[in-house]
Each structure stands twice: as C-alpha cells, then as structure tokens.
Amino acid sequence: MGRGGQIRAGALVAVVEVRRRLGNRSLLIQAIVGPVALAAIISLAFGSAGNVDAEVGVVDEDGSPLAAAFARGLVEASADGLEFVAVDGAAEARRRVEDGDLGAAVVVPAGYMASLAGDRPGAVEVIAGDDRLVSSAVARSVADALTARANAARLASAATVAGGGATPSPDDLAGLELPIDIRTRGSGDEVSPAAYFGPSMGLLFLFMTAGIVARSLLDEQRRRILDRVLATPTRPGTVLAGKCASAVVLGVISLSTIWLVTALALGAGWGDPAGVVLLIVATALAVAGIGAAVAAISRTEQAAESFAMAVAFLFALVGGNFIPPGVLPETLRRLSLLSPNGWALHGFAELSAADGTAVDVLPHAAVLLAWALVTGLVAVRLLPRRLEGRA
Amino acid sequence: MRTVAVIALHELRRTATDRVVLFFAVALPIVITVIIGSTFGGTESLDVGVLDRDDTARSRELVASLDEADGVAVERYDSPAELRRDVRTGAVAAGVVVPTGYGRDVDRTDGSATVELVSDPTSTAVAAVRATVQGAVADEAVRVGAARFAADHGGGDLRAARAEVDRLAGELPAATVRTVAVESDGGGPDGGGATDLSTFSYTAPANLVLFVFVNTAMVGAVIAEDRKRGIIPRLLATPHGTGTILAGMGAAKLTFALVQSALLTVVGALLFGVDWGDPVAAAVLVVLWAAVASAVGVVVGSFVAAVEQAQALVPPLGVAMGMLGGCMWPLDIVPPAMRAAGHLVPQAWAMDAWIGLVFDGEGLAGVLPQVAVLAAFAVVLGVVAARRLRTVLTS
C-alpha cells in the first residue's frame, strides 16, 4: 500500500473512531456536558456582583461624637444584602447573634474614645456568630475601619499638641477624614468567571480522556481486531495516527462546544478567536500525543486507564486546575511550567483576561505542540514495535 | 452474617487491587492535602501583584509598607492586563492597583485616593492577603489623615506634621479590635471563631466530603463489573437470599468509605494538625457521610454498564455537587439562591456540620439538624439503592 493508501486507511480509522465516540454518551458528558455545567455553576455563584448577604449589629455604648457618627454612617449605608442595624447594648447584640438573628455585631465599648487619650487604648469588639464567613468578615472590617479612625484621631491629637496647637475637641476629631480608600473588586467583575473556568474544566476532563486512545487500541488488540487490521497492508503507525487524529478531532469538538456554549449562554468572552482556535488545536494535539504515549507504554487497558488518570490529575494539580498556582510552594510552582494544562490555562487567561492576541499565545501553543511532538515520537517509536512483537 | 462479610471482603479485595481506584482514593486526596497543608502550614508568604501607576515617593512608600507586611510578598507589574491575568490564573493571590495621581492627592490637604484591590472571589486562599493589604493601606491612611488634621489644627506644615505623626506612630500603642466568638446553643469548647479561620481548616473537611463521595460513588461500578463477569448470577444461585447479597455489597462500599475517611482524617490530624472538632460528633459525621456515599455508590453501580462509564460520569457529577455544596468554596460567599440550591445536595449539609465542628467548636447537639438531614439522605438513598440493586440482581 502506497502513501496515499496509508493516509486513506488512517483517515478511515479516525472516522470510525470519531463516530464510535460521538455515539458514546458518557464520553459526551465527560467532555462537554460536565465542563459546561461546572462552568455554569461557577458563573452563577460568582458572576453577579452583590454576593454579600449579611446583617451586622452596631452597638454604640461609647456615645462619643466619633462613635456616634460612625454608627449612624453605617446604619445609613445599609444596602441590598448588607444591612447594619443599631442595637441597644452589647448583651442584646450577643443574644441576637446567638439566636442567629444577626450574623455578627460590632460593639464600641463605653469609654472607648476617652481611653484613646491614655496609654491603654480600648478595643472595638466584634461578636462573631454563626454566619461567620461573611457577616464576621464585614463586622471585622467595620471594626478595623473604626479603629483606624480612632488611631488617626489619637495620632492627630498628639501631633497637634506636639506642633504647638491646643488639644482638639472630640467633635473636631470626629470630623477627621481618612483620605485613602480601598476598593475591593472581584476579578470576575472584568472577566467572566466562565471565560476562565470553561477552559479550566474543559482541560481537566479532556486530559482525563487521554486514556481513550490507549483503551481503544488495547481493546482492539485484546479482541484481535488489531491483528486483522494489521494483517492488511495497513502499518501500525497508520492505525496509531488514525486513533490520534480522532482524539484531536474530539478534543477540538469538546473545547469548541464549551467555548460556544459558555459564550452564548453565559456571555463568557474567551478573547481573540484566532488565539482561542490556535490554543484549542494545540491543546487537542497535546492530549492526543499524551494519549498515544500512554498507549505505547501500557500493557493492559486498566494500566492505561490508571496511568492516564494519574498523569491527568498530576498535570491538573500542578497546572492550576485545582489549586491556584499562586498558593503553591515555589518548587511546585516551577514544576507547573512543565504541565501542558498550566500552559494551556495560562494561554486562555492571556486571551480572556489580558486582552492577548494569537501572537501573544504563540509561546503557549509552541509548548503544547512540543508536548504533542515529543509524546507522539515516543508513541511512534515504541508502539509499532510492541504491536508487531505481539502480532 | 458470615456471607455478608465474605461478599464484602471479596469486593474490597478487588477494589484494593484496582490501581485507578487506589489512585483516586488514596494518592490524590493525600497529595492535595499535603500540598495545601505544606503551603499554609509553612512560612512561605503569598504573592501580591502591585501595579503602581503613580510611581511617586508616596506610592512607593505604600508599596514598601505592603512589602514589609507579614505573609505577603510584593510582585511588581507594569501592565493592568498582565495583573488581571495573573490574578485570574491565581499566579498571584491578589492584585493591588495604586492609581495615577495618588501621591499628589495624598499630599494635598483635601485630596483623597482610592487604592484598588483585585482578588479572585472563588479562591478561599486570599482572605488573609486581603486583610494584610487592607491593613497596610489603612495604616497609611491613618498617618496621612492624622498629619493633615495636625497641620490644619496645629498650624504647622503638612510635611512636618507627617514626620511628627510617623514618630508618634512608633511610640503610641495602637487601638485594636477584639473578636469574641459566640457559640450557638450547642456548647463545647471555644472554637476560636472567625479570627482562626484558616484556609486549611476549611479545605481539610471540604476534601474529605468531596473525595469520599466521588471515590465511593466510583467504586460502585464494581457491581456493574460483577454483573458482566457473571459473579452475581452465581451468587444468586447459592442459597443466600438477595438481602444477604445486598448487605454484603453495601457493607463493602461502607467499609471502603470509612477506611478512606479514616485515612484522610488521620493524615490531616497527624501531618498538619487539623482539628476535626468534637471526636464523637466527627465520628458520627464520618459514618453518616460514608453511608450517604456508599448508597450513592450502589445506585451508580446499578445504573452504569461498565466501570469506564462510572469513571466518565462520576467525577463531573461529584465535582458539580461539591461546588454546589461548598466543597470548593464556602457557601457564605455565593448568592442566596445558589446557597439554597446547594442545600439540595447532601454535601452542603455535611459542610455546614463540619464548619460547626471545626470553626464553632460545636458538639453533636449543635449540629443535630445537619446530622438529621444527612441521616435522612442516607436512609432515602439507601432505600433507593436497595430497590435498584434488587431489581438489577433479579432481572
């Protein structure tokens, strides 16, 4: 069989394989439905602003102008999802927090302002209740803000006196402004979470399907289908190429569908389409290459499956699919540079979050293609020898 | 009884030789626990990306004070796009943007500046960083505010007032915040409350809930394999009743889930000092969760035709339920509707109970509602599992 014949045979293997897999419902769930569903959950959880839902009690036992102005300001600032309620006395606040009526409370104790003039300044108290995470965090930051004002008042008073001025009145100090604000923004405000988690989840599950090339080959070997195919002039390399081509096609279909669905249904902008296509193809090639290498070194279907899963999860782990690389120890962070997931994920983020173009993700695509090439070569060298040795 | 044990043992032995299962059940959760544990247990600081658009003496001062703060290391950025990308991918735990004109506004007597903190809401790791950044910015704000006031009321110039404030700040003890954790009616030891909320204390139970569920649901596929291999028809040909066989299969899943839970809790406790809370309540939770997971495992086993199918379906399903139920991030930070939806899956109830145990120091009485709901899940799922399995066995 000539070169043209081999190509035709390879294409035939690929077409049969693609058709078989598209008919496999569990694969569709794994490669498309699952990632889209997970990206949708993340979008619903974090897509909208105003996630906060907290009710915080404010107790002013101090009665000083500073504390009164602060408490009043808070109650007036109550907004959707974040409510500040004036409460009479710390005991009452504590009871209401215990009852779950309030998530947390901030107490300015009696004599607080006066204590600031002395050597032992008092403390604003946070009563942290059951709804800890948000209400307590809100209460804590409110208490921090008041404490900052108190500290500013304290320093201002001392510095005024040191500069030759008269001790400022509490009313004057209550008007003290802190000129630097901090505004917290979620990264999702600018970049849709689905634009990041769509590819992230897609990659995770796509790498998990890498074992399929191996499983399909080994299954056909076990059932002697491969023997029959190889009895024709079709070379083992052709069969492998066909299987890999089908894996590439499926990878492209899977990631493209996730792209389409998250973009249309969740409004996720993945960035420059040329770059997205480039990364999708490069990623699919890398996954196919890794799958082929797994096939080349595994003796049984089960071994192939466990090997592929282990590799997929290892890559996902250091590549940032589970844990953001920023919190990893330095050594692991360096290791993440080896992970194809990491490069792909970084590339997709370059497009969606950093307004990158196809040119900007060329390095990412190059690394993915290198993975495809190296693993593909391993497969091409090892697999035919093994198949021929057995056939 | 002996037959139940034999059937269970047989299945466990098969599970123990399945490398895929072992990988998911043992290696993966431990690796993740170790990575997260070593990250948060260690002294390594988290990176904060800083984009100083102002680049004046004042802004550099703010950045320097950030850099000096405990637990964070400043990584400098030149472009907002790159900072946005790295916050998104988690390469840095959070981003800080100092706006253009910051120095000018701060040095003016009536100007004000807004520093931006960008963080990924899905990451629970950044809470500590956020507090540190806010602290550093607040500290600078306090000094600037005090200096302005002093210059205004004392009649001196702003520069001299600032120098005086900086000197005083080093001398005067600062006012602080005191946090009191309030226990609900459950009692038990003081859990320390919000201030002790470390990411790892949350991640450890979250991983336990997530992985025990996914793995146990996955090993349910052994049933499908047994059907394919004809083991079940042979079992049915013996004089043992269907009930006995059902019990044996259920017991195998339960044992698997329990062994795995024990492994994860012990590794967490011994290597990273995770406090799982009241031991009795923790044990009840572990057993109930194992029961829920094994019931789901049996249901999965009765539905799928082959192990591969379970391997394809269970991880996305388990991860989705984990996300809904608060295993990936605390449900406190999602909108109320998502939180309500989350409580349709048992994971949310299990996480609520663990939060009660680990963070609030609750005893069994304190998490009774969650325990009751989990028990209900276990019973209902158990009944469904038994019915499905009976149908499958006898069909």
SS3 A211: helix
pLDDT at B190 over 60: no
Contact status, residue A212 vs residue A292, Cβ threshold 8 Å: no
What was the pLDDT predicted at A374?
Answer: 95
The predicted pLDDT at position B20 comes to 65
Chain B closest-CA separation from residue A169 CA (Å): 11
Q: Which residues partner with A38 through β-bridges?
A: none
Asked if A204 and B318 touch (Cβ cutoff 8 Å), the reply is no
- In chain B, whose CA is at the least distance from the CA of A129? B182
What token pair was written down for A385? Answer: 């020898």
Other CB atoms within a 10 A radius of the CB of residue A267 amount to 12
Label residue B55 left, alpha or beta by phi (over 0 means left) and psi (-120 to 50 means alpha): left
- Read off the pLDDT band of B197 (50, 70, 90): very low
| ipTM of the prediction | 0.72
Q: With bands split at pLDDT 50, 70 and 90, how would you rate the model's confidence at B186?
A: very low
Determine contact, residues A95/A129, Cβ cutoff 8 Å: no
Q: Beta strand pairing status for A54-60 and A104-108? A: parallel
A164 within 8 A of B156, measured Cβ to Cβ: yes
In the predicted model, what is the mean pLDDT of residues B123-145?
A: 78
Compute CA distances B87 → B3, B16, B283, whole Å.
56, 41, 39
Average pLDDT value for residue range A113-136: 78
H or E element, residue A184? strand A180-186
Among A265-269, A354-358, B30-34, B347-351, whose mean pLDDT is lowest?
Answer: B30-34
Contact of A23 with chain B, judged by CB distance below 8 Å, is answered with no
In this structure, are residues B216 and B299 in contact, taking their beta carbons and an 8 Å threshold? no
pLDDT over 70 (residue B229): yes
Q: Does A4 touch chain B (CB under 8 A)?
A: no
Residue B41: is its pLDDT beyond 60? Answer: no
B193 has a pLDDT exceeding 50:
no
The pLDDT score that the predictor gives to residue A358 is 92
Q: Which of A173, A315, A327 to mutate to test the interface with B (most CBs of B within 10 A)?
A: A327
Residue B376 has pLDDT above 80, yes or no: yes
Contacts of B18 in chain A (CB under 8 A): 302, 306
- pLDDT, tens digit (0-9, with 9 covering 90-100), for B333-349: 777 888 899 999 999 99
pLDDT at site B298? 87
In our burial notation (b when 16+ CB lie closer than 10 A, e otherwise), range A276-296 reads: bebbbbbbbbbbbbbbbbbbb
The predicted pLDDT at position B128 comes to 67
- The 10s digit of each residue's pLDDT in A39-90 is 888 777 776 544 556 788 999 999 888 888 888 888 887 776 678 889 998 9
Are A313 and B184 a contacting pair at CB < 8 A?
Answer: no
Question: What is the rounded distance in angstroms from the CA atom of residue B244 to the CA atom of residue A300?
Answer: 34
Please judge whether A184 and B119 are an interchain contact, meaning their C-beta atoms are less than 8 angstroms apart. yes
Chain B residues near residue A153 by CB distance under 8 angstroms: 146
Partner A, chain B 306-365, Cβ-Cβ below 8 Å? 308-309, 311-313, 315-317, 319-320, 323-324, 329-330, 332-336, 338-339, 355, 359-360
Is residue B175 less than 8 Å (CB to CB) from chain A?
yes
C-alpha distances in angstroms, A13 versus A243, B6, B99, B115? 6, 45, 59, 59
Does residue A186 carry a pLDDT above 70?
no
Query: B347-363 pLDDT, tens per residue?
Result: 999 999 998 888 778 88
Closest CA to B93 of B113, B116, B73: B73
Identify the helix (H) or strand (E) that includes residue B178.
Answer: strand B176-181
From the CA of A153, how many Å to the nearest CA of chain B?
Answer: 6
A164-172 average pLDDT score:
84
Interface test with B, best of A53, A134, A187, A330 (most B CBs within 10 A): A187
The SS3 assignment for A348 reads helix
> How would residue B43 be classed by pLDDT, with cut points 50, 70 and 90?
very low
Give buried/exposed letters for A150-178 (b at 16+ CB in 10 A, else e).
bbbbbbbbbbbbbbebeebebebbbebeb
pTM score, two decimals? 0.76
Cα(B103)–Cα(A380) distance, rounded to whole angstroms?
A: 62
pLDDT at B192: 35
Angle (deg, nearest 10), helices B368-394 and B279-303? 30
- pLDDT tens digit sequence for A216-229: 888 887 788 777 87
A303 and B116 in contact by Cβ < 8 A? no
Of A107, A305, A98, A101, the closest CA to residue A219 belongs to: A305
**Are the Cβ atoms of B180 and A163 closer than 8 angstroms?**
no
CA distance B70 to chain A (A): 15
Residue B126 and residue B90: Cα distance in Å, rounded? 10
Q: Mean per-residue pLDDT for A145-151?
A: 87
A44 touches chain B (CB under 8 A): yes
B61-101 pLDDT, tens digit each: 889 988 888 778 899 999 888 888 888 887 888 899 999 99
